Amino acid sequence: MKHLNLFGLVVLIALAGCKPKSTTTTWSPDTHSYLARGVIRELATDHRSVTIQHEAIQGYMAAMTMDFPVRNTNELSGLSRGDVVTFKLVIGTNDDWVEQLHRTGQTGEAATPLQRSEVPELKPGDLMPDADLTTEYGTHLHLSDFRGQTLAFTFFYTSCPLPNYCPRMNKDFSATRDLLRAAPGAGTNWQFLSISFDPNFDTPDILFSYAGLYRGNDSNHWVFAAMPMRTLAGIAPQLDLMILRAGNGITHNLRTVVLDPQGRIQQLFDGYDWTPEQLAKAILAAQQKTR
């Protein structure tokens, strides 16, 4: 969802009711499918993903605008921005994708892509602005508190329903942490930070319980925290992070950032098309920057 309009960042509310329910068509022990309808907003040039502004998906999630992976790229042949489509959303244990896309109409908006914010974005080499957070322990924290360490942070919210979004970010953080621990010469001067953008719902107690799903009882080098709405309003546009309330849900994209020990941006990862190996490499590179 790289092209959502950020003007008038909407105050976030909790998405308490979007956990998967059992009213689905089950076609394998670990996979469920949901029929849905929406409007195509963007098509990836390689046809491996599509951005759909979809209606509420009964029994699963509220109306949102989301990027969805497409396994069979031929499914998008003949489709274009503005097409009204029906489709099937498939949810697996660790993955999700759309299939069986069928055009049913056109909105007349084919020439009007979703617009990006005009706020200048931060880029590698820029100093990351400071930001305040509330940790899973109920303590206050600032990004500047990590100066002197290499920091990797990403954004999520605990009620996120799609495996390829927030759960994937935290699973990849866990895998990257394991890689760094095993890497010769990696040292211990690095830190992970998972930041919730749903502070009203993601209280310290909820964050602490949620963190255990990904790091077990081992919290070394990894903190979960929530960012206040007032802070998000300033930070999100600079990182090209889109967070919008859509009905009773939250529409968002994915941004992962690596800072060097001086608090400068080493690398920004967009979406979920990065691997733990790539993140570990960026962290190790940032560690080499001592001044």
Q: How many domains does the chain have?
A: 2
Contact 43, 50 (CB under 8 A): yes
| 140 and 99 assigned to the same domain | no
- Residue identified by tokens 């892509």 is 113
Contact 176, 221 (CB under 8 A): no
Q: What pLDDT shows up at residue 109?
A: 58
pLDDT per residue rounded down to tens, the chain (291 residues): 433 332 232 222 222 333 333 333 333 446 778 898 999 988 988 998 898 888 888 777 777 777 888 999 999 999 998 999 999 998 877 778 899 999 998 886 544 444 445 668 999 999 999 999 999 999 999 999 999 999 999 999 998 877 778 899 999 999 999 999 999 888 899 999 999 999 989 999 999 999 999 999 999 999 999 999 889 888 998 998 888 766 556 778 899 999 999 999 999 999 888 999 999 999 999 998 865
Q: Is residue 5 part of a domain?
A: no
CATH (domain of 86): 2.40.50.320
What global pTM score does this model have? 0.69
Closest CA to 88 of 46, 25, 29, 43: 25
Q: What pLDDT shows up at residue 5?
A: 34
Range of the domain at 138: 132-287
| 262 and 150 assigned to the same domain | yes
| 167 and 276 assigned to the same domain | yes
Token pair of 201, please? Answer: 């719902």
| 152 and 251 assigned to the same domain | yes
Q: What pLDDT shows up at residue 34?
A: 86
